[in-house]
C-alpha cells in the first residue's frame, strides 16, 4: 500500500494522543500459535512490537505454539491426546514441548523482532524464576456413575507465582522480553502451561495497562457467529456455561477475567490475522476484536 506523503504525515500526527496515552505503560501481548503460522503476518507483528517500544511503550510478548508442538510430536512419532482441549503431557512429551516452545519458536520470534530493529530477549518461565507452576488440577464428573474423577494431564501446569524481577529490570531498558509459557515446579519439574493462562498471569503481576490476545478469529463470537465488541464478566460466564464460548476461547476469557481482577485496565481479544492488529487496537479509534470488561 502506498500512501501519499501528506496523508502519511497527517496519520502520524493523529497518532500523537495515542502515543502519549501509552507512553511508559506496559502492554502484554499474547501471540497465538495459530496466528503465528504465516511468515508475512509474523513480520508485521514484529514491526508493531518494535514500534511500540520505539514510542515509549513497554511490550511484553508471550507466545503459544500448539500447532508447532503437534507437528514436532508427529515427526518424532510420539502419540499425543487431548482432554477438554488440554494436551496430556507425559515426561517425554514435556521435553518436546519445552524444546519447541523455548527453543525454536521463542528464537524465531526473537529473531523476527530483532530483524525489525528491536532488541528482543527470549525467556521461559524458568529464567530468573519467572513462572512458578503447579500441576493443573482438573476434575470431570463421570456421566454414568456421576462420580467426580481427577483427570491426569501429566505435566500440564498452572501459574502459581510470577516473579516480576526480570521484567522490572527490562522495563527500564531497550530490551523486549519474549516469553515461552513453560513453568517450573517445586521440585524443578518442567510444566507445560497454556500460553493464554501464562500471559494473563504475567499481565496481572505487572499490572499491565493493556492485555492483548492475538488469535485466529475476529474476537469472541455470539451464537449467530457475529462479533461481540464488548463483553462483561457475567455475560462471559453465561456464554461459557451455555457452550457459545468453547475450546481454546475458554482459557482466553478466564485469563482475561483474572488479569482484570488483578488490576489490568483492559483485556482485548484481537484478530491476529488482520495486518498490524496491535497498532490498530492501541493507536486507532474503534479497534477491532472483543473488549473484556468488568460488569
Ligand atoms: P490460539 O492459538 O490463538 O490460542 P485457540 O484455537 O486456542 O487459538 O483458540 C481460539 C479458537 O477458539 C477459535 O479458533 C475458535 O475455534 C474457538 N472458539 C470457541 N468458541 C468461540 C467463540 N464463541 N468465539 C470465537 N472463537 C471461539
Ligand atoms: Mg490456545
33 touches ligand 1 (CB under 6 Å): yes
Pocket lining: 246 vs ligand 1, CB cutoff 6 Å: yes
Distance CA 227, CA 288 (A): 9
The number of the ligand 1 atom at minimal distance from the alpha carbon of 221 is 24
> What mean pLDDT comes out for the span 40-64?
96
What is the rounded CA–CA span in Å between residue 61 and residue 113? Answer: 10
Confidence of residue 145 (pLDDT cuts 50, 70, 90): confident
Average pLDDT, stretch 222-244? 94
pTM: 0.94
Q: How far is the C-alpha of 34 from the C-alpha of 70, rounded, in Å?
A: 12
Looking at residue 274, the DSSP 8-state letter turns out to be S
Probe target for ligand 1 pocket from 31, 243, 249, with the most ligand atoms within 8 Å of CB: 249
Tell me the average pLDDT across 115-121.
98
Angle between helical axes of 249-261 and 233-241 (0-180°, round to 10): 150
Mean pLDDT of 176-193: 97
Share of the chain above pLDDT 70, in %: 99
CA of 116 to the centre of ligand 2 (A): 26
Least reliable range by pLDDT among 200-204, 236-240, 286-290 = 286-290
Average pLDDT over every residue of 186-204: 97
Angstrom distance (rounded) from CA 265 to CA 293 = 9
* pLDDT for the residue 163: 98
Residue 202: its pLDDT value, please? 98
DSSP 135-195: E--EEEE-TTT--EEEE--BSBEEEEEE--HHHHHHHTSSEEEEEE-EEE-TTS-EEE--H
249 lines ligand 1 (CB under 6 A): yes
Query: Which of 38, 215, 218 for mutating ligand 1's site (highest number of atoms within 8 Å of CB)?
Result: 215
Over residues 167-188, the mean pLDDT reads 96
For the CA of 214, the nearest atom of ligand 1:
3
What is the structure's pLDDT at 286? 63
Q: Whose alpha carbon is nearest atom 23 of ligand 1?
A: 245
- Tell me: pLDDT of 1 over 70: no
221: its cell numbers: 463470537
Report the residue among 67, 71, 101, 247 best suited for mutation to probe ligand 1: largest number of ligand atoms under 8 A from its CB.
247
Overall average pLDDT of the 256-283 stretch: 93
Q: Which DSSP helix (H) or strand (E) runs through 59?
A: strand 58-63
Amino acid at each position: 500500500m502506498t500512501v501519499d506523503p501528506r496523508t502519511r504525515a497527517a496519520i502520524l500526527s493523529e497518532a500523537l494522543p495515542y502515543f502519549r496515552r501509552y507512553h511508559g505503560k506496559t502492554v502484554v501481548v499474547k501471540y497465538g500459535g495459530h496466528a503465528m503460522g504465516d511468515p508475512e503476518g509474523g513480520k508485521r507483528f514484529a514491526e508493531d512490537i518494535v514500534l511500540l517500544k520505539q514510542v515509549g511503550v513497554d511490550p511484553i510478548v508471550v507466545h503459544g505454539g500448539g500447532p508447532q508442538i503437534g507437528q514436532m510430536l508427529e515427526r518424532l512419532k510420539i502419540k499425543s491426546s487431548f482432554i477438554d482441549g488440554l494436551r496430556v503431557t507425559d515426561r517425554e512429551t514435556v521435553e518436546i514441548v519445552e524444546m519447541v516452545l523455548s527453543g525454536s519458536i521463542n528464537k524465531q520470534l526473537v529473531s523476527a523482532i530483532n530483524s525489525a530493529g528491536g532488541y528482543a530477549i527470549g525467556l521461559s518461565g524458568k529464567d530468573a524464576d519467572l513462572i512458578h507452576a503447579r500441576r493443573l488440577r482438573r476434575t470431570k464428573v463421570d456421566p454414568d456413575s456421576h462420580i467426580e474423577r481427577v483427570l491426569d494431564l501429566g505435566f500440564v501446569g498452572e501459574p502459581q507465582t510470577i516473579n516480576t524481577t526480570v521484567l522490572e529490570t527490562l522495563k527500564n531498558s531497550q530490551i523486549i522480553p519474549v516469553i515461552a509459557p513453560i513453568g517450573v515446579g517445586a521440585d524443578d519439574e518442567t510444566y507445560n502451561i497454556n500460553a493464554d493462562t501464562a500471559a494473563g498471569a504475567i499481565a496481572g503481576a505487572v499490572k499491565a495497562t493493556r492485555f492483548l490476545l492475538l488469535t485466529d478469529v475476529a474476537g469472541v463470537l455470539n451464537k449467530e457467529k457475529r462479533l461481540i465488541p464488548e463483553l462483561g464478566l457475567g455475560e462471559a460466564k453465561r456464554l461459557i456455561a451455555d457452550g457459545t464460548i468453547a475450546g481454546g476461547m475458554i482459557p482466553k476469557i478466564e485469563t482475561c477475567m483474572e488479569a482484570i481482577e488483578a488490576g489490568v485496565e483492559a483485556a482485548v481479544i484481537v484478530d491476529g490475522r488482520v495486518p498490524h492488529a496491535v497498532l490498530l487496537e492501541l493507536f486507532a479509534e474503534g479497534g477491532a476484536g472483543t473488549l473484556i470488561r468488568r460488569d
